[in-house]
Each structure stands twice: as C-alpha cells, then as structure tokens.
Amino acid sequence: MRITDTKFNADVTWKIRLKSNVNHRHLILHLNDCNEHLLPTMSILTRLLVAVLCFGSLKTHSVAESSQFCEKDGLKENCGETKEDRSTFSSSLGVRYLLYDVNPPEGFNLRRDVYMRLAIFMHEMKNEENWRLVLPPWGQLYHWQSSNVGEQTKLPWRMFFDVKSLQKFAPVIEMEEFLGSVQKKRPPIDEVYILQHYKDVWEEGKEWQDRWNIEGCIESIPYSKSGKAYTGPFWTYKNLSAQKVECASFQGHAALLKGILRQSRAKVVMIDHAEVALHDRYGDHIYWECRRSMRFARHLVEIAQSFRKQQLDSSDDKDMVKRPDNWLEEREYTTTGGGPYLAVHLRRKDFLWGRAKQVPDLQFAADQIEKIIKKLQLETIFIATDAPKHEFAELKTHLSKFKVLRFEPSPTLKYEIKDGGVAIVDQIICSHAKYFIGTHESTFSFRIQEEREIMGFQRNTTFNRLCGREEGIPCTQPTQWPIVFK
C-alpha cells in the first residue's frame, strides 16, 4: 500500500511482508523527508506516520533476516544462511526477476560456466537493485542419452547442486519458486532479449569495444507471436509466454547487461543466449567465491563417498583432504594426499571428430596411463568416460595389470540421479584422486581441475591431459588457473 500526502513532500510507503508460520508482520516506513515543522500542514494519517518515524515512539523492522534468499520446497520455505541485508535493495519496482537460457547444443559444464557469469553479475547488482536470478531448469542435453532414466526435462538445480550454498553468494531461486510468485500474471515474462553477435564482430582490424544495441534479429529465432503473447521453448513449460521479444547485438562482459536491464521497467526479464556475455571477473577472488559456492547436492556427495570407500579405499580422513561444510570457511591450503588411485577423464564420442588430433586412440591412452601409474606406484585406476561399454572393455584389456573401475550405478539409482547426477559423481571421485589426467579442452576436465584447486591439491597432480597420437609425447598441457582468496 502506498500513501502520498499532497500537502507534504514526504513520500510515505508502507510495505507489509508476511513471514511464513509466524503470527506477526514486518512494517517498513520510508520517508524522503522528515521535517517536524511541517507536521501541522499534513493530514492526520500522515502526521501520525511521520511522528512515529521521526520521534522514535515505534521502532521499524528491517526485512533483513538470517536467511535472505530462500528456496521453496512444496509449502515449506527452506533458507540458507547469509550475512547480507535485504534492506540494502532499492528497486522501486520491488522484486524483479532475471531469467536466462543458453544455446541449446551447449553441454552441462559450459552451462555451469554461464551460470557463474550471471551469478557474479547478480552478486554485483544485489546492493543496487532488488533482482532474483532464476535458475533455468536442466533439460535434455547432448550427453544425456540414457533411455532408462525417465524424462530428463524441467530438472531443478537442487538435483545436482546445493542451492542454499549458491544463495550464500547470489540471490538465486529455482524456477518453481518464480512460477509460484507470478502464476497469476499472464504472460509471466515481460521482455525477452536474445543476445547475438554483431555482424561486424569478425571483421579484420575492427577495434574491440563493449557495446550493445537493440537490432533486428540476424538469424531466425524460436519465438513466435500467438495472439497477444510470444510462445517459445521456455524449458518446455506450456504456461510460459512473453509480452515482447527483441534481439540485442551484444559485445562485452556480463556487466554490460546492466544497460539492458536499466532501460527497462519490466518486472520479469529474460536473457536468451546468455553465453554471448563474457566473464566480468575471470580468475579473481570474486570468480573463485562464486565457484566455491557451487557445492554439489549432498546426496550425490554421499554416493561418491560410498563408492570411494567401498571400491577405492578412499575417504577424506584417510586421504588427508580438508574441506569445511560451509564454503565461506574455506582457506588456502595445500593437500599432499589424495585417494590411492589414478583418475582419468577420457572423452570420446563428439571429441573423436571435434578434437581428433588431441584425443588418443584407446591403445595410446592406455600406454600413457600405464606409464604414469607405474611412476606413482599405484594399482588402481578410475576412469570417467562417455565411451560405450565395448570401448571401456577394450581399454581394460590394455590395462589388464591394474584394477580399472568406472562408476556404474544400479538402474534404480541411475533413474533417481539421472545422467547429470552420474556425471557429477564421476567428477567428485576424480577430484579426490592422488593424481588426475584430463582431456584436452574439455569443460568436464576443467571443472574437476577447479575442484582440485579449491581443495588444495598440488598443481602438477591436477593440470594434466592425455596426448593425441598425432601430437606425440610430450604435448602442451592445460593452463594452470590458481585459486585466489580475498
């Protein structure tokens, strides 16, 4: 409810927020001016409000809570801890929502990177405007090809990540919470901006500069007008549509999105092809805070722990790996241990033609693995791979002197955690090994290297890759990206 007295230049705003399961209310009074000498000129109601605020006879309540950004689960509201104060938000539109999507062919781990770009942007924006970043549901991705795991669409982030941990860094919510807040609004999305590269971006001699413009769409778009609203993919939700869809030629970092958002008065804005926006803070302490906040879902961590214990004789205590439950408590340290096994990520499928020169054949991969495991004096090899069963069996014959394992969940477990959960368990197991070897330019390997860097493994045990037969040995190894703490 908003009350403005025309005789007084104070704009008095009431906001009521009902706190779930608590039989009381938070009242906020905001005054642009507080001049006791003007009290006689005001109406009785306004005079009462100003007197209450100016003379302190009633204490106003901040909406700051120990749980600022919340994830709704059914009828319950489960909130993560945060030190931030919601009263610092200043948007005159109240809560606003930023949705985003990514080029459909992009994989799971590239999408995680795009999330970081948007999360860091929201982290920087949250003290200026009252935005919520809506986590896009996971859908059918290229590598999610299992036919016996049920439908792999509209999967919430909590299936794979600890959303409360994410919320300690940025104001993020699940899609279902967003839908619950705008379910009476049609169409739910006010504006969609499809990011596209400028036509002249690849012109020789063209000077790079951050820029954006609303322009005509260069390529066909998956949105079409149906009546008064636009329909489109929208993560396969049939009840989602948009009032307006425009293309924005975009060249620059994610912070440039601020220009698009601030020229709009829309409450719900969606950015499509968000991968076009570049990292603002790549490699600095803010980047690593965001990355550290991306803890995996607890049930997946427990599955990985069980496999390590039963199959690899590995546990955090035995391996001398330290990692506090809360990422905010992490400090820089060096881990000299690790599980008593060699971990290898061997990418196959699309990399056999996309990175043919850098991906080894199975025999050449086995030769390299055998050489390294003998040097490490280990006997067990864990393989994370998208190779079909017959290729994995062939690889094992080349490494018959050693114990070679991969994570193969039961049909029931695989149905529960889906292909994405299997991939994360693979990454967790690889990240705890004494030594890791990855695949050239694979984001799956990059994410493992980041996990190991966070846990403090020595970099010569982390930033390694298999060489292609055409390259020969040695080949160029991965760039090392050291972690940075504030």
- C-beta atoms surrounding 21 within 10 Å: 8
- Of the two residues 272 and 15, the one the predictor is more confident about is 272
Q: What is the DSSP letter of 34?
A: -
Q: What is the pLDDT of residues 97-123, one digit of tens each?
A: 999 999 999 999 999 999 999 999 999
Q: What is the pLDDT of residues 165-208, one digit of tens each?
A: 999 999 999 999 999 988 677 899 999 999 999 998 878 778 88
What pLDDT score does 183 carry? 65
Q: Which whole number is the average pLDDT over 360-382?
A: 98
| pLDDT(21) > 50 | no
Mean pLDDT of the chain: 84
| pLDDT(416) > 70 | yes
| pLDDT(44) > 70 | no
93 pLDDT band (50/70/90 cuts)?
low
Can you read off the two tokens belonging to residue 477?
Answer: 């190894």
| Residues taking part in catalysis | 106
Q: What is the pLDDT of residues 433-483, one digit of tens each?
A: 999 999 999 999 999 999 999 999 999 999 999 999 999 999 999 999 999
Give the C-alpha separation, 200 to 204, whole Å: 9
Q: Which whole number is the average pLDDT over 228-236?
A: 96
Give the C-alpha separation, 418 to 114, whole Å: 22
**Is residue 85 within 8 Å of 62, Cβ to Cβ?**
yes
> How many degrees, rounded to 5, is the angle at CA 237 between CA 93 and CA 95?
15
What pLDDT score does 27 carry? 31
Give the C-alpha separation, 89 to 253, whole Å: 23
Q: What is the pLDDT of residues 217-226, one digit of tens each?
A: 999 999 999 9
| pLDDT(423) > 80 | yes
C-alpha radius of gyration, the chain, whole number: 26
What pLDDT score does 204 carry? 77
10 pLDDT band (50/70/90 cuts)?
very low
* Residue 383 parent element (H or E): strand 380-385
> How many Cα atoms within 13 Å fall on the side-chain side of residue 221?
21
Give the C-alpha separation, 67 to 78, whole Å: 9
Q: What is the pLDDT of residues 378-395, one digit of tens each?
A: 999 999 999 999 999 999
Buried/exposed 312-329: b ≥16 CB within 10 Å, e otherwise: bebeeeebebebeeebee
148-to-144, 414, 420, 438, 483 alpha-carbon distances in Å? 11, 8, 14, 28, 39
| pLDDT(270) > 50 | yes
Q: What is the pLDDT of residues 275-316, one digit of tens each?
A: 999 999 999 999 999 999 999 999 999 999 999 999 999 999
Q: Sign of the C-alpha dihedral, residues 465, 471, 474, 479? A: negative
What pLDDT score does 182 carry? 84
What pLDDT score does 131 carry? 95
Residues sharing a CB contact under 8 Å with residue 293, sequence separation 6 or more, in sequence order: 119, 165, 166, 168, 169, 170, 327
Q: What is the DSSP letter of 205?
A: T
Residue with tokens 């393989």: 383
% of the chain with per-residue pLDDT over 90: 72
Beta bridge partners of 404: 381
**Is residue 25 within 8 Å of 16, Cβ to Cβ?**
yes
126 pLDDT band (50/70/90 cuts)?
confident
Give the C-alpha separation, 390 to 394, whole Å: 6
What pLDDT score does 17 carry? 31
**Is residue 145 within 8 Å of 105, Cβ to Cβ?**
no
| pLDDT(26) > 80 | no
Torsion of CA 33, 38, 42, 48, to 10 degrees: 70
| pLDDT(28) > 80 | no
What pLDDT score does 346 carry? 98
Q: Which whole number is the average pLDDT over 256-270?
A: 95
